[in-house]
Amino acid sequence: MNEVVLASGSLTRKKILEDAGLVFGVDVPNVDEEEIKSALLLKGASGEDIAGFLAEHKSCTVSARAPGALVIGADQILECEGKIYSKPKDVEAAKEQLTLLRGKKHTLISSVVVAEGGRRVWEHTDRSLLHMRKFSDSFLDDYILKHEKTVLDSPGCYQVESAGIQLFTSIEGNHCTILGLPLLPVLDYLRLRGVVAA
């Protein structure tokens, strides 16, 4: 049976796999996501292209040094009104991004790739639609103050699994996709490979 490795430093993705009962290792790929994303945007890549490329790059990077392992890499892109958002660099940038997203719908594009022997063997992309409410400036200031460490961890400056849920009026899509790892298709693939009991 193949070993499973998560090619990510994301605690959320790690928790998703742990909660599903998977036994796996973790190997952080240490790739410069922002540099790759910027280069792809200059070439006119879509959000789906970028998420898929980054997920593949992460999984293949780790897979090349983990012979025989099935390596899971994932990436998530936030797209709103044709613009792709990145993780904010500081609290002021987070406040600016939340102000731009306020009252609008945005899409989270989550891609996952499984690599083996340094090449992609399986991939899946899913989308979720989130509608941010028109919260007040005072709510925004308070939210940033209370969550200044976590607002820098995602392009949307929120975690829907905690207080970030208060930013929304509606959410459409799979919960794990919103968290950044479309889990059910991954489990289906791992069953096909005999890693997870069928």
Question: How many of the other CB atoms lie within 10 Å of CB of 140?
Answer: 16
DSSP state of 124: E
Residue range 128-178, pLDDT digits in tens: 999 999 999 999 999 999 998 899 988 899 999 999 999 999 999 999 999
Domain at 4-192: CATH code: 3.90.950.10
Q: What is the pLDDT of residue 125?
A: 98
Q: How large is the average pLDDT for residues 10-29?
A: 96
Among 19, 27, 75, 188, the active-site one is: 75
Name the residue ranges covered by the structural domains of the chain.
4-192
Inter-axis angle of helices 137-146 and 91-101, nearest 10: 140
19 is catalytic: no
Residue range 40-72, pLDDT digits in tens: 999 999 999 999 999 999 999 999 999 999 999
Angstrom distance (rounded) from CA 98 to CA 36: 24
Give me 102's structure tokens. 């306020």
